[in-house]
A and B are shown apart, each in its own frame.
Chain A
Amino acid sequence: MKEMNYKHVKWVALVGLMSAVFACKSDLEVEPIELQTIYQVFDRNDSAGVEANRFLLDCYRFLPTTGNRVGGDFLDAATDDAVSSNPTNTSVQQLAMGTYTSDNYPDNQWASYYQGIRRTSIFINHIDRVPLKGKLANGTPFNRVWKAEARFLRALFYFELVKRYGGVPLLGNKVYQLNDNIELPRAEFRECVEFIVSECDAVKDSLRTDPFDLAFYERPTKGAALALKARVLLYAASPLFNGGNIDPQNPLTGYTDGSDDRWLAAETAARDVIEMNLFSLQPEFRDVFITRNPERIFSKQGGNNTSVENNNGPVGYSTGVNNGRTSPTQELVDAFGMANGLPIDDPESGYDENDPYANRDGRFYATLFYNGAPWLGRPVETFEGGADKPGGTKQQTKTGYYLRKFMGNFETAVNYSNVNHDHILFRYAEVLLNFAEARNERLAAPDGEVYTAVEQIRERAGLQPFQLPAGLSKDQMREVIRNERRKELAFEEHRFYDVRRWKVAEQEFNKDLSAMTIYQTGTGVIRQRTPVLKMNFEERMYLAPIPFSEVIKNPQMTQNPGW
């Protein structure tokens, strides 16, 4: 009995020891409590909406950018306006030469925009939980404004997808979870356009109105919503989608019919922006891009820096970094007419082949560096062996030109200093050109309103005289407008899509691009036009391929024709 007791004591002690071990509880939290849940982001007690605002700001990060964004190059280096200076095979070179497949489309933004769409939808679905107190001066409560901003962003993200791919899956407000069926089919092109337009209409009166407090500059405004609507409708009315569908009976790639009413819709939408009377052309063309001014309708903040200068400046300057990434083509140079408004092939123009850079359209000097252009206190030297085209393995211009647009005015400066490099997504000049194009297409012959819109652009450019000859036919006016778009909007990511939507890429993007090779000799200057890159374009390239991975993952996903 005694023996038994002893044994019991020991066992009890052991069990006690074991329980003590188990009773140990960590004093530290076992999960990272500093990370937030959705209920903390959209907090029912956060009347200032601090966290919700931060979530909205994240959605803004998905806004498209411009500049050296495609593998370090401008998207425009994939058009006939420029080539990349990079000696290796770059993304834009692949775009220019059509050497891509559905698996490696160089400007594949599918995932990124759907991320943006998801985040805006989360915001839209949850912002009403937050008891925001603030109001705009006009009385609109903040949660309506913020929700409208998110819807505008989402509409813009859809537009970025539609202009690349045609119809894409429309998700509405739904935020998909793992156990949902995510194998969604593409919506028709028509539905996508209607969705974007209806969103713009729905939010336009809830957004801020221009002009407003600078602290909120670059939030979307009513003007931005209307400008987006105008651009969407212009695209929808354009030949590629309206009557020129590359797969005529395929509602995903465009309308299955053609209708001039679509031009009217585009014209009206552009007119709505003009008639707001809030925007005007900045008198000095160069300043449009480096100052905050009434021509800007919507932009994404790019910061004050010297990024454009560093990326694209002529390579021979030792002040700062100059990578000379962009080489504009002779074709773009030739597109710029003379200061007297006449194209260079007009016998009256006064163009001198031996002094080709004299007396050109003012935008020429604001857009390009040519051999002899002033920069940082000395002329740019793009002749063979010149400071800015020294030869060797270094990256340098392939064409004899460098990009000048978007840079600060450093013609006589010693050094670069910080310049505003916002990504301008909508500006008034484009709206005027959209208006002129749509109205010209709708009418049998251009009328005064078309002339006025185009001439405003030409006047600001400093053309003397800026007036167009009277009595231009619809076709002649179309050529004028297209040329003005090319000059005015160069390097703003328009031409890549304009040429496609006009459905003329098989001509425009299927040719040899030229460089100007300049030799400085003892007796003078010899200029030679030499081929630099052969662009290739096939019909299927009018629309970007749906990413290969999406098509194989999702049986509902229809690939674009030809891919």
Chain B
Amino acid sequence: MKRCIYLLLVTVAAPFLLAAQTVVSGVVKNNEGPLAGVTISEKGGSQAAQSDQHGRFRISMSRDRNVLVFSSVGYTTQERTVSGEEEIEVILQSNVQDINEVVVVGYGTTKKLTSTGALSSIKGADIRQIPTANVQNTLAGRLPGVVSVQRSGQPGRDASDFYIRGVSSLNPDGNQPLIIVDDIEYTYEQLSQINVNEIESISILKDASTTAVFGIKGANGVLVVKTRRGMAGRPKINVRLESGLQSPVTRLKFLNAYESALLWNEAIANTPGDNTNQPFSDDALEHFRLGDDPYAYPDVNWYERIFRPASFQRNSNVDITGGGESVKYFISGGTFSQDGNLYNFENNGDQVNNNYYYRRFNLRSNLDVQATKSLQLRLDFRANFNRINEPRAGNIVGEVFNFNKIRPWSAPFLNPNGSYAYAGDTQDLSPTINARLATAGYRLDRRNDLNILVGGTQDLEAITEGLSLSARVAYASVESNGREQARDNLPVYRYFPETDTYQLKGGAPYVLSPYTLRAYQGDYNSRVNVQANFNYVRSFGDHQINSLLLYNRESYNTKGDKQSNWIPQNFQGFTFRTGYNYNEKYLIDVTAAYNGSDRFQADRRYGLFPAVSVGYNLAKESFMTERFDFVDLLKLRASYGIVGSDKVRGDRYLYQQVYHTGGGYSFGETHQAVGTIYEGSLGNSNVTWEKQKSFDVGLDLSVLQNRFSLVVDYFHNIRYDQLVTSQSLPLNIGVGVSPTNIARVRNRGVEFELNYNDHIGAFQYNVKGVLSYFKNKVLFQDEPAPAFPWLQLTGHQVNQPLGYVFDGFYTEANLEQSAKPAGGYEVQPGDLRYRDLNDDGVIDEFDRTAIGKPDVPNTSFGLTLGGSYKGFSFNILLQGTTGYSFSVQGSGIEPFQSQFQPIHQQRWTPETASTARFPRLTTNPTTINSPSSYLSDFWLIDATYLRLKTVELGYQLPDRWLPFKINNARLYLSGYNLLTWTNYSLYQQDPEVTSNTAGDAYQNQRVVNLGIQIGL
């Protein structure tokens, strides 16, 4: 009976069912091209399909269903209503908070769901949006725990300094994170040479549980980069072409000759006894004002005449990926070119380019070979070549600031007959900047990086299931050299308008002399790394185990100072890691590294670096799944461990007591110096690595099908045994001493990462907020007790500046009773008045105290807003930092060392006493008003800033528009450093400049960039 009904139903329904099906086909992409492996299913139905390697799919749908769901790990699930159209196109947005996503960690991978450590990661596709030359500049504001400052914008030298979880060590070399690219250690410079196009993903490892695998090198956090690898299938070619304009973040303004001359006269009048500077006459001032005699009274804005408002930047990349079952390949080539910010002052007839510029050529080939059924091989090759060019004429970006080099009235830009002039009123009488740029030559530095990695993985299922053995050998080398074309003595003339005659500068030749060619040998270093490891990954029911046992050996050779010349720096050790979880609910990881470095005495080379971390995923508990089923992940985790840092300062062999050869000494009539020998710094036979106790506790939350997620971490680290030079040893010992492991610093902080993504119809959007805050405190640094408690640095942050406390200007009223500076300088109203902390009536170095903050930010935040509608997309990053300060000194700001700038017009005068923002002007460079002689909080500025760091607007062309065999095309407009809100503008400086310098670094650049990406 039953069967009959069945049969009947089938017979009746069959034509109906068949008629009710539609076939939908189309293509799935992300913003870089077709996506393979996307699951396509009908909502509420049972039909499902997968996209192939060209992103193509085909699915039969029931007539009564009209919504398709597109999902893939790492991407936001998208729904699409299908309304009869046969061919549809879907663009998926990547989703960083997908809990099933796999992220790269040290020597392996982990799933966000089961990870117990503190780490954050970003995909290569997301950082490719940023039009900058190197990886370092893409991290700010995107990854919690990273703080970065870009100190310079010079082409090729613009990589940001970055720190993971701030600064913990007093050893200046001891805060640089370890950089690992495809499991091989890279230097900071090597990282900045990597082409962003080659990157698959970047992870930041922050706590002991994730960094302990690196043991003696793990204390500063680790940046892990994984490069892209081939995917099987028909060759896919991807081309990106970008072209952009760079311009300085801020255009500098200097006062013209008339305005400067007025201030010059005022300063001279303010400086009794100055008989070396002569004021300008009223007649001269009038000429400056009218500009009617440009040769007798020149008025040149050197900055405007030397620096162009914008210059070009170009970036082109081609990559091809594909392969079959046995061989897969990813091959990429790229060029990057950045021009300098100077006008071209080409000298007739010679072809030299004296401008700043940067050119880089990258090549990478990653091959995977399935040699036998159980043996997989890989062969990676990378090369890049770059050139950095600079004018040889000196530090041009600094010189436009430098009043002692050139002034608005120093010389005309060119003499009437076209010859070059020189700054006749300065001490070194140097030819004008444009004269030197045109003729003085250039310095070109070339650098070649080469990496080769050969590896294999043997499946050892024969022994036991889940076991495999991998081994790899990697070689990396860097070679650099420099070339210089130089010409020093230039034919420059002084023009006398009254007689219309020219006078050659004394000692100058009448014609240009030929260039002198010089060559330099730069770095030469190489690194060999050998690794072998067993991996054991297996599940027994609800029990999952993931273990690693690794041997690692590294040898680094460098042509450095004489001492380390070609003596390899060796490192070796074992790492053991095992992770266990029960049903993805109870998680525990145990890591131990036993490794060592030959920077220490033979019997003190090896250390054990253990870490343990636990996690508890409440979302898997039944009471949660029953009542709060919208919670996808609620994981509490904690880790504790000990990690190390083997960075030693200067001499590698601190444990040795050696005798050095020194300068010569001679006797007798003839001067034949004999080399001398002296006792080197007292060896410290106990020298050892720095250690850090790291504690981290965190929370991972993900709700509403991963639409909203939150990651919070709190950490508390104690860095101890820091290698610093003892400060409390009396000089009577008569010899230097090696640093000893004595200092201790505490560093703690919190990090938040918050994500939300959703859609309104076809408009998808996501919001990501990142906030990190760290604060360190020096607990002990062997500081002798200072004369007064406020001079003490222990208890403050690392690199805490000391200075005077500004207490208003001196006025007629307070001049008498106020403390005055030690020394013969007689203060006057309008000078900066400082607080007399020890109340002795004298302002001297005992009145200095901790002012401001160090020049590495302690708080950094970022807000990313992204959205897409069909083919349109946008992505905006607002990034900012706070909690640091900087000051500018010397030629950056001080009158008669710096050009006159708008800030100098806000100087103190009796009339402007109440609104003055700058002390009264004098020609004396070492008064109490000088930030280099008397650093004070008047000069130290809170460097908080907020930047519109990046913007990208893109449009992915619909497939039907695409001609030929193009299967993807995307146009985009991107920007970098577009807008900045800060109070740095008072001093015309970028807030990321290094503190206490002249502030004359190459300006950070704003980039506006147009690009096209084509897939074939």
Cβ proximity bits A36-56 to B, threshold 8 Å, 1 near / 0 not? 111011000000000101110
Chain B residues within an 8 Å CB radius of A277: none
Q: A115 with B663: in contact, given A30-B567, A393-B427 (CB under 8 Å)? A: no
Distance from B145 Cβ to chain A, minimum over Cβ atoms (Å)? 35
- Give the distance in Å from the alpha carbon of A534 to the alpha carbon of B727 in the complex: 38
Query: Do residues B667 and A114 form an inter-chain contact, with CB atoms below 8 A?
Result: no
Among residues 203 to 237 in chain A, which have CB atoms less than 8 Å away from a CB atom of chain B? 214-219
Q: A557 with B730: in contact, given A35-B658, A392-B276 (CB under 8 Å)? A: yes
Among residues 915 to 963 in chain B, which have CB atoms less than 8 Å away from a CB atom of chain A? 924-926
**Cβ of A283 under 8 Å from chain B:** no
Query: Do residues A61 and B732 form an inter-chain contact, with CB atoms below 8 A?
Result: no
Query: Do residues A101 and B822 form an inter-chain contact, with CB atoms below 8 A?
Result: yes
**Cβ of B845 under 8 Å from chain A:** yes
- Give the distance in Å from the alpha carbon of A557 to the alpha carbon of B469 in the complex: 65
- Give the distance in Å from the alpha carbon of A547 to the alpha carbon of B845 in the complex: 14
Distance from B569 Cβ to chain A, minimum over Cβ atoms (Å)? 10
Query: Do residues A30 and B598 form an inter-chain contact, with CB atoms below 8 A?
Result: yes
- Give the distance in Å from the alpha carbon of A394 to the alpha carbon of B824 in the complex: 23
**Cβ of B734 under 8 Å from chain A:** yes
Query: Do residues B734 and A214 form an inter-chain contact, with CB atoms below 8 A?
Result: no
- Give the distance in Å from the alpha carbon of A89 to the alpha carbon of B274 in the complex: 13
- Give the distance in Å from the alpha carbon of A7 to the alpha carbon of B668 in the complex: 80
Chain A residues within an 8 Å CB radius of B823: 89, 94, 97, 99
Q: A292 with B669: in contact, given A36-B659, A54-B677, A552-B787 (CB under 8 Å)? A: yes
Cβ proximity bits B825-851 to A, threshold 8 Å, 1 near / 0 not? 100000000000000000011100000
Chain B residues within an 8 Å CB radius of A118: 679, 733-735
Chain B residues within an 8 Å CB radius of A97: 823-824
**Cβ of A521 under 8 Å from chain B:** no
**Cβ of A178 under 8 Å from chain B:** yes
Query: Do residues A552 and B784 form an inter-chain contact, with CB atoms below 8 A?
Result: yes
Tell which of A21-29, A360-368, A403-411 binds the partner: A21-29
Among residues 280 to 307 in chain B, which have CB atoms less than 8 Å away from a CB atom of chain A? none
**Cβ of B786 under 8 Å from chain A:** yes
Query: Do residues A61 and B653 form an inter-chain contact, with CB atoms below 8 A?
Result: no
Distance from A27 Cβ to chain B, minimum over Cβ atoms (Å)? 10
Distance from A59 Cβ to chain B, minimum over Cβ atoms (Å)? 8
Of A32, A292, A392, which one neighbours B567 at CB under 8 angstroms? A32
Query: Do residues B671 and A114 form an inter-chain contact, with CB atoms below 8 A?
Result: no
**Cβ of B511 under 8 Å from chain A:** no
Among residues 120 to 148 in chain B, which have CB atoms less than 8 Å away from a CB atom of chain A? none
Q: Which residue of B lies closest to A114 (CB)?
A: B734
**Cβ of B650 under 8 Å from chain A:** no
Query: Do residues A115 and B276 form an inter-chain contact, with CB atoms below 8 A?
Result: no
Q: Which residue of B lies closest to A18 (CB)?
A: B551
Chain A residues within an 8 Å CB radius of B727: 553
Chain B residues within an 8 Å CB radius of A115: 734-735
**Cβ of A171 under 8 Å from chain B:** yes
- Give the distance in Å from the alpha carbon of A103 to the alpha carbon of B532 in the complex: 57
Query: Do residues A217 and B676 form an inter-chain contact, with CB atoms below 8 A?
Result: no
- Give the distance in Å from the alpha carbon of A217 to the alpha carbon of B671 in the complex: 11
Q: Which residue of B lies closest to A60 (CB)?
A: B665
Query: Do residues B570 and A26 form an inter-chain contact, with CB atoms below 8 A?
Result: yes
**Cβ of A503 under 8 Å from chain B:** no
**Cβ of B241 under 8 Å from chain A:** no
Q: Which residue of B lies closest to A97 (CB)?
A: B824
Cβ proximity bits A112-124 to B, threshold 8 Å, 1 near / 0 not? 0011111100100
**Residue among B532, B566, B784, B824 with the most chain A CB within 10 A?**
B824
Query: Do residues B427 and A394 form an inter-chain contact, with CB atoms below 8 A?
Result: yes
Query: Do residues A35 and B732 form an inter-chain contact, with CB atoms below 8 A?
Result: no
- Give the distance in Å from the alpha carbon of A554 to the alpha carbon of B728 in the complex: 8
Query: Do residues B658 and A536 form an inter-chain contact, with CB atoms below 8 A?
Result: no
Chain A residues within an 8 Å CB radius of B785: 552
- Give the distance in Å from the alpha carbon of A26 to the alpha carbon of B425 in the complex: 62
Q: Which residue of A lies closest to B275 (CB)?
A: A391
Among residues 517 to 543 in chain B, which have CB atoms less than 8 Å away from a CB atom of chain A? 530, 532
- Give the distance in Å from the alpha carbon of A554 to the alpha carbon of B727 in the complex: 11
Cβ proximity bits A52-72 to B, threshold 8 Å, 1 near / 0 not? 011101101100000000000
Chain A residues within an 8 Å CB radius of B669: 214-215, 217, 292
Of A54, A176, A391, which one neighbours B733 at CB under 8 angstroms? A176
**Cβ of A110 under 8 Å from chain B:** yes
- Give the distance in Å from the alpha carbon of A183 to the alpha carbon of B730 in the complex: 7
- Give the distance in Å from the alpha carbon of A57 to the alpha carbon of B661 in the complex: 11
State the total of A-B contacts with C-beta under 8 angstroms: 195
Q: Which residue of A lies closest to B665 (CB)?
A: A57
Query: Do residues A37 and B658 form an inter-chain contact, with CB atoms below 8 A?
Result: yes
Distance from A139 Cβ to chain B, minimum over Cβ atoms (Å)? 22
Q: A89 with B682: in contact, given A94-B823, A391-B278, A392-B425 (CB under 8 Å)? A: no
**Cβ of B657 under 8 Å from chain A:** yes
Of B667, B784, B845, B924, which one neighbours A301 at CB under 8 angstroms? B667
- Give the distance in Å from the alpha carbon of A373 to the alpha carbon of B924 in the complex: 32
Query: Do residues A548 and B824 form an inter-chain contact, with CB atoms below 8 A?
Result: no
Query: Do residues B653 and A31 form an inter-chain contact, with CB atoms below 8 A?
Result: yes
Chain A residues within an 8 Å CB radius of B759: none
Query: Do residues B734 and A119 form an inter-chain contact, with CB atoms below 8 A?
Result: yes
Query: Do residues B463 and A10 form an inter-chain contact, with CB atoms below 8 A?
Result: yes
**Cβ of A528 under 8 Å from chain B:** no
- Give the distance in Å from the alpha carbon of A184 to the alpha carbon of B669 in the complex: 42
Query: Do residues B671 and A176 form an inter-chain contact, with CB atoms below 8 A?
Result: no
Chain A residues within an 8 Å CB radius of B735: 115, 118
**Cβ of A304 under 8 Å from chain B:** yes
Query: Do residues B551 and A119 form an inter-chain contact, with CB atoms below 8 A?
Result: no
Query: Do residues A549 and B667 form an inter-chain contact, with CB atoms below 8 A?
Result: no
Distance from A197 Cβ to chain B, minimum over Cβ atoms (Å)? 22
- Give the distance in Å from the alpha carbon of A177 to the alpha carbon of B729 in the complex: 11
Among residues 547 to 589 in chain B, which have CB atoms less than 8 Å away from a CB atom of chain A? 551, 553, 555, 563-564, 566-568, 570
Query: Do residues A61 and B679 form an inter-chain contact, with CB atoms below 8 A?
Result: no
- Give the distance in Å from the alpha carbon of A26 to the alpha carbon of B569 in the complex: 11
Chain A residues within an 8 Å CB radius of B733: 114, 118, 176, 182
Query: Do residues A217 and B667 form an inter-chain contact, with CB atoms below 8 A?
Result: yes
Among residues 316 to 353 in chain A, which have CB atoms less than 8 Å away from a CB atom of chain B? 318
**Cβ of B63 under 8 Å from chain A:** no
Q: A393 with B425: in contact, given A31-B567, A101-B822, A101-B845 (CB under 8 Å)? A: yes
- Give the distance in Å from the alpha carbon of A403 to the alpha carbon of B462 in the complex: 93
Query: Do residues A58 and B677 form an inter-chain contact, with CB atoms below 8 A?
Result: yes
**Cβ of A250 under 8 Å from chain B:** no
Among residues 290 to 305 in chain A, which have CB atoms less than 8 Å away from a CB atom of chain B? 292, 301, 303-304
- Give the distance in Å from the alpha carbon of A215 to the alpha carbon of B668 in the complex: 4
**Residue among B660, B665, B674 with the most chain A CB within 10 A?**
B665
**Cβ of A244 under 8 Å from chain B:** no
**Cβ of B731 under 8 Å from chain A:** yes
**Cβ of A111 under 8 Å from chain B:** yes
Cβ proximity bits B711-751 to A, threshold 8 Å, 1 near / 0 not? 00000000000000001111111110100000000000000
Distance from A218 Cβ to chain B, minimum over Cβ atoms (Å)? 5
Query: Do residues B730 and A55 form an inter-chain contact, with CB atoms below 8 A?
Result: no
Cβ proximity bits B229-266 to A, threshold 8 Å, 1 near / 0 not? 00000000000000000000000000000000000000
**Cβ of B81 under 8 Å from chain A:** no
Distance from B922 Cβ to chain A, minimum over Cβ atoms (Å)? 12
Query: Do residues B657 and A87 form an inter-chain contact, with CB atoms below 8 A?
Result: no
**Cβ of A104 under 8 Å from chain B:** yes
**Cβ of A169 under 8 Å from chain B:** yes
Query: Do residues A31 and B784 form an inter-chain contact, with CB atoms below 8 A?
Result: no
Chain A residues within an 8 Å CB radius of B786: 552
Chain B residues within an 8 Å CB radius of A110: 731
**Cβ of A138 under 8 Å from chain B:** no
**Cβ of B277 under 8 Å from chain A:** yes
Q: List 13 A-B contacts (CB under 8 A).
A: A28-B566, A32-B563, A32-B653, A36-B658, A54-B676, A58-B677, A89-B924, A94-B823, A394-B276, A536-B824, A550-B732, A553-B727, A554-B732
Q: A30-B570, A218-B668 are in contact. List 4 more A-B contacts (CB 8 A).
A: A32-B567, A32-B658, A114-B732, A552-B786
Closest 10 CB pairs of A and B: A118-B734, A99-B823, A58-B676, A35-B658, A114-B734, A57-B665, A97-B824, A89-B926, A553-B784, A36-B659
